[in-house]
Amino acid sequence: MAKFNPPDSFAFDRPNEWGDWKQRFQRYRIATKLAKEDGEVQVSCLIYAMGPEAENIFKSFTLSEDDQKKFDVVLGKYDEYFYPKRNVIHERACFYQRGQRPGEKVEMFIRALYDLSEHCDFGAARDDHIRDRIVVGIVDKDLSRKLQLEAGLTLTQTIQTVRQSEEVNAQVHQQQGEACTAVQEIARERGKFAYREKQQWRNRRESGQQEAPKMPKCGRCGKIQHKDHERCPALKSTCHKCKKVGHWEIKCHTKAVREVTETEPVSQTPYFLGAVTNINKNNDKWTVKIVIGVTPVTFKIDTGADLNIMEEETFNMLCPKQQLVQSNIPPMSSPGGQLICVGKFQANAKYKEKHYSFPVYVIRSLTANNLLGRDTACAMGLVKRIEKVHSAFGEHGTLKTDPVKILLKDNAEPYAVYTARRVPLSLIQKVKEELLRMEKNDVIEKK
């Protein structure tokens, strides 16, 4: 039988690594058949493998003589010593808030969910919770909707589907990249051909092989210049374009206006749409219901938005149906990529028995909601700019309240101690002056 060395001594200054070290010792215990030995032998091997400091910790345990010889009891005491008491509500909140980050691989997202669920006490329903979080948290919202329609979806099927989707998308992007490379190669070849043609023309010009000079043409009929202007055939003809006599349509310089349209000014600065989240998760104080036509629409008040934004799905539910017109604004960008603006319409809205009219831009997005821009919100009286803010702090930057005293337990020990950052040489004198000023004004205690 092969011989196995026990794991290295446990690093007591890193108690968060206790789980990994314990799992490695358990494998060593099974591989060497130590688990079949007496409990007292197993406990001794555990304490010896951990290192000298484990003896002092073992002595602090209040165990009977019989329990000191039971491996599971002693191991449980070490778990209580190294593992702090966890807040299940906080652990679950971290789990439910975890979503796939932009650019993050699906495999890394799934592994993160497994790690976060370790301390959530889900029990037998752990796989169902991980499955639901994958379906809701993935970046591909089209795939998310497809998975939500699957009845009896299991965790294994979910993981397999999202992995295959990521591989297919990667292959499609690779094929598009190869096609772009081919197009660029063709463009380079055409550029080289045009350069050769231009170079040949320069060589012919330098060698004296110039083209024959062009003959001047008549400004009335477009033919070769007449010696006698009175012989021009267009002299008494009527132009079919401007209806004037004396020239043909081919030489008419009148600019005909065929259509007059009104266009909106194009902004040179591209619009950026930052974080757009679910309205139901936001504070109701920052959402407002506005009736457009006869349809109530929920908007989020966004003082940082220059435009009024509506999601295409909401636009399709408006009654009566609104007509979209083409918008000339530049493409809008967001953390998730470029947003497609399908058009705009003039909303005739009603809020608190008052009527308003403002432009709304409709975008195609699976995650965006409706935003009420800064100008419209101000016009409706929903927000107001405050010109002056009274400071709640004193002259020295301290809050005008009674001092707060923090009490610590007598046996409290810091989990970690960090040294202060070094002050650059160029700032040492300024730091000293500031500390003296704070001591003089009783902001900090004198040492």
Q: Convert the pLDDT of each residue in 229-262 to its tens digit.
A: 677 888 778 888 787 888 888 888 776 544 434 4
CA 44 vs CA 11, 22, 52, 72: distances in Å: 18, 15, 12, 13
**Backbone torsions φ then ψ of 162, nearest 5 degrees:** -70, -35
Tell me if 288 is assigned to some domain: yes
Letter for the amino acid at 2?
A
pTM of the model: 0.32
CA atoms of 70 and 6, how far apart (whole Å): 20
Q: Helix, strand, or coil here: 59?
A: helix
- Asked if the structure places residue 159 within a domain, the reply is no
Residue labelled with tokens 């009175």: 230
Assess if residue 292 is contained within a domain.
Answer: yes
380-430 pLDDT per residue, tens: 888 887 766 666 556 656 666 777 787 888 888 766 666 677 888 889 899
Which of the residues in the chain have pLDDT under 50?
257-266, 275-276, 278-282
Helices (H), 4-52: 18-31, 39-50
Total domains, the chain: 2
Q: What is the pLDDT of residue 45?
A: 92
Q: What is the dihedral sign for C-alpha 407, 410, 412, 418?
A: positive
Q: What does the pLDDT read at residue 132? A: 93
CB-based contacts of 209: which residues, under 8 Å, 6+ apart?
none
Domain limit, last residue, from 45, 63, 82: 82
Count the Cβ atoms, other than its own, within 10 Å of residue 54.
17
Does 5 reside within a domain?
no
Among 353, 379, 405, residue at a domain's last position = 379
Assigned domain for 308 exists: yes
pLDDT at residue number 275 = 47
User: Are 51 and 58 a contacting pair, CB within 8 Å?
Assistant: no
Look up the CATH number of the domain holding residue 302: 2.40.70.10
Tell me the C-alpha distance between 426 and 428, whole Å. Answer: 6
Q: How far is C-alpha 426 from the chain's CA centre?
A: 39
CA 337 to chain centre: 9
In a domain, 133, yes or no: no
pLDDT at 155 (0 to 100): 92
Does residue 215 fall inside a structural domain? no
From residue 159, alpha-carbon distances to 37, 120, 153, 163 in Å are 42, 21, 10, 6
Query: Element (H or E) spanning 443, and its range?
Result: none
User: Rounded distance, CA 159 to CA 348, Å?
Assistant: 47
Question: DSSP for 297-311?
Answer: EEEEE-TT-SS-EEE
In a domain, 319, yes or no: yes
Secondary element (H or E) of residue 181: helix 155-206
Antiparallel, parallel or unpaired: β 354-364 and 309-311: parallel
- Tokens 């380079």, residue? 188
Q: For residue 359, what are the domain limits?
A: 279-379
Q: Which among 345, 379, 413 is the end of a domain? A: 379
